[in-house]
Structure 1
């Protein structure tokens, strides 16, 4: 028996995201640790962020 892993890649680091560590925002997969503000590197919440071009930011 072989394990068939996920093909989801984290938008921030481009590494495989496993379901245990996956966070989906705006239809895109991220690692929980990679879901950070591009400017200040603070941890984002799924409800308080916005995307400009390809970068994540706090929604202020």
Structure 2
């Protein structure tokens, strides 16, 4: 850990549960193929784990 993660939205959250939609929004992802860099910590990992079926994650 202690690095950064590049998180990319690869699947639309339109049909997802409302909680998952809010998690995607909280990660800062807005549109398909939009990427953000997040710190690699437990909170971020937990959010990513919850919606891992919608995301692509790369370590930087």
Structure number with higher helix proportion: 2
Provide the TM-score with structure 2 as the length reference: 0.24
Provide the TM-score with structure 1 as the length reference: 0.24
Q: Higher relative CO (CA 8 A, sep ≥ 6), structure 1 or 2?
A: 2
